Amino acid sequence: MHRLRRRYAHLLLSLLAIALLSACSGAKKNSELELILYSYESTIRWGDFAGAWEMVDPEYREKHPLTATDWERFKQVRVAGYRSGGPTVIEEGKIGQVVEVEVINVHTQTPRTIMDRQVWQWDPEAKRWWLKTGLPDITRR
């Protein structure tokens, strides 16, 4: 029962944050945020790290390219869960959210949870949101 209440509280907080975002910015920006957050969550849940990499800010990708070893590490885990605390407004056109990503090592079947602190920023030229913080660091303990 406590878990259900917590889930509803997270949902309510997410809806309130989205309502606040729509009050502070245009409806297009808000609907794009909902779409990108949902798309990113789905992409990560399915373990499509290459697809998620395309949602990362191009400047970040250029400065922090993933190596062949990084891509091999992503192949060694399966995503078992993705729980977001919901978006929080940092400033106009920038939101943050903390996400718990549960991964299971495919070789040892050892589960672990990674805290992924995300920052998303609106790009008015591209008219889209970009993840400014990169993919979850699956090497963190």
At 42-61, the pLDDT tens digits run 999 999 999 999 999 999 99
Domains in the chain (CATH in brackets) are 2-131 (3.10.450.50)
Residue 80: CB partners within 8 Å, gap ≥ 6?
102, 103, 104, 111
What are the tens digits of pLDDT across the range 100-133? 999 999 999 999 999 999 999 999 999 999 999 9
pTM, two decimals, is 0.78
